[in-house]
Each structure stands twice: as C-alpha cells, then as structure tokens.
Amino acid sequence: MSSTRSDSHDKNGLLSGNGEGAKRGEVLPRQVITERLVAAGYIADRNLATAIALMQMLGRPLLLEGEAGVGKTEVAKALAIAHETELIRLQCYEGLDQSAALYEWNYQRQLLAIQARQGMDAAEIERGIFSEDYLLERPLLAAIRRPRPPVLLVDEIDRADEEFEAFLLELLSDFQISIPELGTVRATSIPHVVLTSNGTRELSDALRRRCLYHYVDYPDVDREARIIMARVAGAGASLALQVARLVEKIRKEDLRKVPGVAETLDWAAVLVGLDIVDLHAEPETVHETLMCLLKTREDRVRISREVTERLLGRVA
C-alpha cells in the first residue's frame, strides 16, 4: 500500500527511510521559512522560525503551547501555505476516538454488498467488504497516505483523553498505523506535524519526548502591529501601532478572558471599516467597538468608559 520509514539518521542528522523510504517534506532554511510565513500573513519571531526549521531537519512533530488566541493554529495554516501543500486538521475533544481520527468502515455500503452477495462463501464475502473500497479515511490516515507531504494539525491535543494521546504515539514515532483487517499501513509521505495545546491538562512525558517544543506568547507591540498590517487590508502603520499598543495595555488589566490576536484583527478591521485613522480622534467609537476584544460581561464592566480613556491616554 505504501512505503515505509526507518529511524536511522543520515550523515546530516536527518531521519532517513530504507530503500522504500517514505517521501520527506521540503526542508526550508530558517530565513526562507520566515519570508514564506510573512508572505502567508504570519509574522513569526526568530525562535518560532528556528523551531520550524528544526522540526523539518529532524522530521519531528512540533508541539506549540500557549494561551488560547495567540495564533498557534495559524502557524500550521501558514506553514501549509509556505510549503504549498495541503493542511489536514484533526480537532481534538473529550471522547475523541480512533474511528473519528483514523478510519471507519462504511457500514451502509458493506451491508448492501453483503446483500448483493447472498449465497457466496462467507469468508469470501468478509474479504470483499473489508477492503479499500469500503474504507473511510479520517485525518490521521489521510495525512500519511498523501503522495505529497501535507501539514497535519493536531489541534488542542490537551482536550483529548489520555488514552487517545497514548494511541497517537505510534503514529508520531513510526508514521504507521495498524488496521486489523488490512494490516500495517506505512506512510507514503511524512507529514509536517504541528500539535497545539492550551494547557488545560498536563501532557504526558512520552508525547513531549517525541516532539520539539515552542511556547507561543502574545506578540509584542511591534510584531502585533506588523501582523495587523499583514492581515487587515487598509490598516496603515500609525493605526496598527496604536491598536497594538492599546491592546497590550488592555491585556494587562484584570480580565476574565484576555483578547487574542484574532480579536485584535477583528477590531482593527472594524476600525478600518469605520474609516478611523487615529484612535485619539474617536474615543467614543473606540470604547463602543471594544466588544470585538472583550467577550464577557465582567470584562465589559471592568473596561469602563473611564478606563478606556485612561488607557488610551497612555497610547502614543
């Protein structure tokens, strides 16, 4: 069905397969990664660009941890664009099982096939219905069977049960899976794997050992302003910098839910849509549109009109 991958390393320290080695993804230098991510609308800092370069060199998954909304998922999306390849996403949740993540049998088609084969030998019927024709691939199986290495995003792995996390180890180590009726399916290509975690539960040491690790923090003011200019059409440098500075100050307030980068982009898009070029000229509108950033009743009460004016007064 596919080729396989050994765990041997070549003279450059890179993982290499055997004679039937699975196809490896393109290995990009750090500077090229940075430039391609920028072109994809993601402004990466030096540490993140280094982490991506190393994950490609070593063929290891990259585990990204950080608060919700800091842009972890966007890393995988931008990486797929940078490699001009497919993004395959597995969204994790409590109760996620192998059938939803790996594969399922098309039971309806199997029943129809059984009915159509009435009178045939039972063993022959069984061989026929447990074949590729009746296999429904889910994200993990799809990721290792693509001829061109995709980006596999395992999003919010901390929401999945520990049992599922343990199951994932075989895939991350050997890039192969076992289907009892068909045997072992080895990777055709080695996907670029990105896992994200918001830290809602502690991940196992076994998972961490198999991954490179990077903590994604909120961007600093300059980087967030660059993100705004890259992602919001019509956002000028002056407005982007003012928005980034005010958001930074709001994040330091005692909030129940700190606004993430996505909320910043929404707010900047609203301001551009309202033709606002200077926050100081429109303090009333600034306060009214903070609903883009503040998502709970408590936070809206905390950032009162007076607080907005105080924070805005500190923005150059």
Segment 67-103, tens digit of pLDDT = 998 999 999 999 999 999 999 999 999 999 988 999 9
SS3 label, residue 105:
strand
106-143, pLDDT tens digit by residue?
Answer: 998 988 888 877 777 777 777 778 888 889 999 999 99
- Antiparallel, parallel or unpaired: β 87-91 and 151-155: parallel
Which residues, at least 6 apart from 255, have a Cβ–Cβ distance to it below 8 Å?
Answer: 294, 299, 302, 303
Tokens of 196: 């994200």
Q: Which of 55, 205, 26 is CA-nearest to residue 36?
A: 26
Which residue, among 158, 172, 153, has the nearest Cα to 66 in the 3D structure? 158
φ/ψ region of 246 (left if φ > 0, alpha if ψ in -120 to 50, else beta) reads alpha
Looking at domain 23-94+144-216, its CATH class is alpha beta
Arithmetic mean of pLDDT, 54-69: 93
Alpha helix stretches (DSSP H) within 147-199: 162-174
pLDDT band at 25 (very low <50, low <70, confident <90, very high): confident
pLDDT digits (tens, 9 = 90+) for 225-251: 999 999 999 999 999 999 999 999 999
Coil vs helix vs strand at 59: coil
Rounded Cα gap, residues 294 and 278, in angstroms: 21
Alpha-carbon gap, residue 83 to 199, rounded angstroms = 28
Q: Using an 8 Å Cβ cutoff, are 12 and 28 in contact?
A: no
DSSP lists the bridge partners of residue 87 as 151
- Whether the pLDDT of residue 19 is over 80: the answer is no
pLDDT 10s digits, 156-201: 999 999 999 998 987 888 888 888 888 888 899 999 999 999 999 9
Largest CA distance in the chain: 84
**Which residues fall within 8 angstroms of residue 122, CB to CB, at 6 or more apart?**
none
C-alpha distances (whole Å) from 156 to each of 69, 94, 147, 202, 280 are 12, 10, 26, 12, 38
The runs of H, that is alpha helices, within the chain are 30-39, 46-58, 72-83, 98-101, 107-116, 122-129, 139-145, 162-174, 205-209, 221-231, 237-251, 261-273, 283-288, 297-302, 305-313
Separation in Å, CA 283 to CA 197, 257, 272, 286, 288? 37, 23, 15, 5, 9
Lowest mean pLDDT among 13-27, 80-94, 164-178, 287-301: 13-27
Q: What is the pTM of this model?
A: 0.83
Cβ neighbours of 270 (radius 10 Å): 15
